[in-house]
């Protein structure tokens, strides 16, 4: 009898709905009993075996059972889903105080880093940055800097010559000329950048960096040059570092002086870094030669200037205790990572 089958399905389905402990199990009950291919649907297919007049009534009974089951299903489903969500929330507590996934920190290469530090320090006393080409002509790299042709000073510089008579600039001093040609004094500029010399060993790289400083004003003396450099050295290396000036020669400055600072590693006592002298050379300096001013269109009777040029690698080596200049260009991550911020 179909009606008994219907009763049986109803009973079993109700039991199964009650005993389902997860929403997934509950859903399987629905599939089995009153889903599209479930037992109720199969029962409907047997409708044809009933006498015609009983069919509508039985159909209604089946639909009634289906509706009742669906209501119980909905009730259970709501309860189970809520329970499951609560369990999930308990299980997956979000601890907002935990640190996030670690991220690799980048590092600024020591050369641009040192340039940035120097520019920061000197910009506090009024200097601002200029740049010039790395491929220069003979005029800017030498002649305008009071180094005429065949002058022995040209040998000091181990020049790389480029086809067509140009040179790779051997120092940043040509930027002095470009600046004086383009700007009216008073001038206070810095020119950091790459320079090139035909030279290569543990302490010389064919491509290294310098920072040039040029000041032009009405009255400029060695005292101001020394004061500026001493201030800079203390700011850069630390207040205990002393500065020493040794008389020297550059064609573009007169008088000229080489600049040493007391060795930051041994505090001047003498060590390997300073070759036991207690002092380390960081660059050249001097008062701008009158010929250089007039070459660049500035009247040396009205204006005076000082200039200095420091080696960036040199300064980085001293500040960070680096023992080989080639490390700067080898891209060894073990070296570079030490400069992570
Ligand atoms: N240009 C010089 C060099 O490369 C350094 C220097 C710059 C000296 C400015 C005096 C003044 O050695």
**pLDDT tens figures, 214-225:** 999 999 999 999
- Those residues with Cβ within 8 angstroms of residue 203's Cβ, 6 or more apart along the chain or in another chain: 325
pLDDT tens for each residue of 253-304: 999 999 999 998 888 898 888 889 999 999 999 999 999 999 999 999 999 9
CATH of the domain at 140: 3.30.930.10
If one compares 165 and 297, the residue with the highest pLDDT of the two is 297
Beta strand extents in the chain (DSSP E only): 128-129, 135-137, 166-168, 187-196, 207-217, 243-250, 253-262, 279-288, 304-311
Burial of 257 by CB count in 10 Å (0-12 exposed, 13-18 middle, 19+ buried)? buried
- pLDDT at position 175 over 90: yes
pLDDT tens for each residue of 302-314: 999 999 999 999 9
If one compares 310 and 154, the residue with the highest pLDDT of the two is 310
**Confidence (pLDDT) at 157:** 66
**Confidence (pLDDT) at 326:** 85
| Contact yes or no for 285/171 (Cβ under 8 A) | no
- pLDDT at position 151 over 90: no
Give yes or no: residues 87 and 225 share one domain.
Answer: no
| Cross-strand partners of 136 | 167
- pLDDT at position 152 over 80: no
Residue of 309, 310, 314 to test ligand 1 pocket, by largest number of atoms within 8 Å of CB: 309
Domain boundary among 59, 91, 123: 91
Residue of 210, 222, 258, 293 to test ligand 1 pocket, by largest number of atoms within 8 Å of CB: 210
**Confidence (pLDDT) at 94:** 82
Give yes or no: residues 186 and 38 share one domain.
Answer: no
- pLDDT at position 122 over 90: yes
**Confidence (pLDDT) at 49:** 87
Q: Is residue 230 part of a domain?
A: yes
What's the 233 CA to ligand 1 centre distance in angstroms?
Answer: 17
Give yes or no: residues 183 and 56 share one domain.
Answer: no
Region 123-151: what's the mean pLDDT? 94
Q: Which atom of ligand 1 is nearest to the CA of 172?
A: 1
Which tokens is 272 given? 């390997």
Say how far apart CA 213 and CA 234 lie, in whole Å: 17
pLDDT tens for each residue of 31-50: 999 999 999 999 888 888 88
CA angle 22, 24, 26 (to 5 degrees): 70
Q: Is residue 331 part of a domain?
A: yes
- What's the domain count of the chain? 2
Strand-pair category, 304-311 with 207-217: antiparallel
Q: Is residue 99 part of a domain?
A: no
Domain with 118 in it: 110-339
**Confidence (pLDDT) at 153:** 66
Name the residue at shortest CA distance from atom 10 of ligand 1: 285
Burial of 229 by CB count in 10 Å (0-12 exposed, 13-18 middle, 19+ buried)? buried
**Confidence (pLDDT) at 99:** 87
**Confidence (pLDDT) at 96:** 86
| Contact yes or no for 232/118 (Cβ under 8 A) | yes
Region 13-37: what's the mean pLDDT? 93
Region 142-160: what's the mean pLDDT? 82
Q: Which atom of ligand 1 is nearest to the CA of 195?
A: 4
Give yes or no: residues 34 and 149 share one domain.
Answer: no
Residue of 196, 199, 284 to test ligand 1 pocket, by largest number of atoms within 8 Å of CB: 284
Name the residue at shortest CA distance from atom 4 of ligand 1: 171
Q: Which atom of ligand 1 is nearest to the CA of 156?
A: 12
- pLDDT at position 101 over 90: no
Q: What percentage of the chain has pLDDT greater than the value 70?
A: 98
Roughly what angle, to the nearest 10 degrees, separates helices 55-91 and 23-33?
Answer: 170
Region 225-250: what's the mean pLDDT? 95
Q: Is residue 182 part of a domain?
A: yes
Domain boundary among 91, 122, 155: 91
Least confident of 54-68, 90-104, 121-135: 90-104
110 pLDDT band (50/70/90 cuts)?
very high
Give yes or no: residues 201 and 326 share one domain.
Answer: yes
If one compares 148 and 309, the residue with the highest pLDDT of the two is 309
| Contact yes or no for 167/138 (Cβ under 8 A) | yes
Q: What percentage of the chain has pLDDT greater than the value 90?
A: 69
- pLDDT at position 169 over 80: yes
Domain boundary among 43, 63, 91: 91
Which tokens is 148 given? 């005429």
What's the 235 CA to ligand 1 centre distance in angstroms?
Answer: 21
Name the residue at shortest CA distance from atom 7 of ligand 1: 309
What's the 171 CA to ligand 1 centre distance in angstroms?
Answer: 7
Say how far apart CA 219 and CA 1 lie, in whole Å: 122
Say how far apart CA 4 and CA 259 lie, in whole Å: 111
Which tokens is 33 given? 């009993």
| Contact yes or no for 171/253 (Cβ under 8 A) | no
Residue of 173, 225, 256 to test ligand 1 pocket, by largest number of atoms within 8 Å of CB: 173
- pLDDT at position 321 over 90: no
Give the chain's end-to-end CA distance (angstroms, integer).
84
The count of other CB atoms within 10 Å of the CB of residue 329 is 14
What's the 265 CA to ligand 1 centre distance in angstroms?
Answer: 25
Which tokens is 203 given? 């302490």
Give yes or no: residues 235 and 316 share one domain.
Answer: yes
Give yes or no: residues 188 and 319 share one domain.
Answer: yes
Roughly what angle, to the nearest 10 degrees, separates helices 312-320 and 110-123?
Answer: 100
What's the 151 CA to ligand 1 centre distance in angstroms?
Answer: 16
Mean model confidence pLDDT for the chain: 92
**Confidence (pLDDT) at 128:** 97
What's the 150 CA to ligand 1 centre distance in angstroms?
Answer: 19
Give yes or no: residues 61 and 147 share one domain.
Answer: no
Give yes or no: residues 177 and 316 share one domain.
Answer: yes
DSSP, collapsed to helix, strand or coil, labels residue 227 as: helix
Q: Is residue 96 part of a domain?
A: no
Beta strand extents in 36-186 (DSSP E only): 128-129, 135-137, 166-168
Which tokens is 41 given? 């649907």
Residue 200: alpha-carbon gap to chain centroid: 29
Ligand 1, CB cutoff 6 Å, lining residues: 171, 173, 212, 250, 253, 283-286, 307-309
Roughly what angle, to the nearest 10 degrees, separates helices 222-237 and 312-320?
Answer: 40
- pLDDT at position 156 over 80: no
């Amino acid at each position: 009898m179909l009606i008994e089958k219907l009763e049986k399905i109803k009973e079993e389905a109700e039991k199964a709905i009650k005993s389902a402990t997860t929403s997934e199990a509950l859903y399987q009950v629905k599939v089995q009993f009153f889903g599209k291919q479930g037992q109720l649907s199969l029962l409907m297919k047997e409708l044809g075996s009933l006498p015609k007049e009983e069919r509508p009534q039985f159909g209604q009974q089946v639909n009634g059972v289906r509706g009742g089951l669906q209501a119980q299903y909905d009730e259970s489903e709501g309860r189970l889903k809520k329970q499951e969500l609560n369990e999930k929330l308990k299980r997956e507590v979000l601890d907002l105080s935990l640190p996030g996934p670690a991220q690799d920190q980048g590092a600024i290469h020591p050369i641009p880093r040192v340039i940035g530090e120097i520019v920061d320090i000197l910009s506090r006393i009024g200097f601002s940055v200029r740049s010039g080409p790395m491929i220069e002509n003979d005029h800017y790299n030498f002649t305008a800097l009071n180094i005429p042709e065949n002058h022995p000073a040209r040998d000091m510089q181990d020049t790389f010559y480029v086809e067509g008579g140009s040179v790779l600039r051997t120092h940043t001093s040509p930027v002095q000329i470009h600046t004086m040609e383009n700007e009216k004094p008073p001038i206070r500029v810095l020119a950091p950048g790459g320079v090139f010399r035909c030279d290569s060993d543990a302490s010389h790289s064919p491509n290294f960096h310098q920072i040039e400083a040029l000041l032009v004003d009405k009255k400029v003396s060695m005292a101001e040059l020394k004061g500026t450099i001493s201030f800079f050295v203390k700011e850069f290396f630390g207040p205990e570092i002393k500065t020493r000036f040794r008389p020297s020669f550059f064609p573009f400055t007169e008088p000229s002086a080489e600049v040493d600072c007391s060795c930051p590693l041994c505090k001047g006592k003498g060590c390997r870094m300073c070759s036991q002298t207690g002092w380390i050379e960081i660059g050249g300096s001097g008062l701008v030669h009158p010929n250089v001013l007039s070459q660049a269109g500035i009247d040396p009777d009205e204006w005076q200037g000082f200039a200095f040029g420091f080696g960036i690698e040199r300064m980085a080596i001293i500040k960070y205790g680096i023992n080989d200049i080639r490390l700067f260009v080898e891209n060894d991550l073990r070296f570079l990572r030490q400069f992570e911020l």
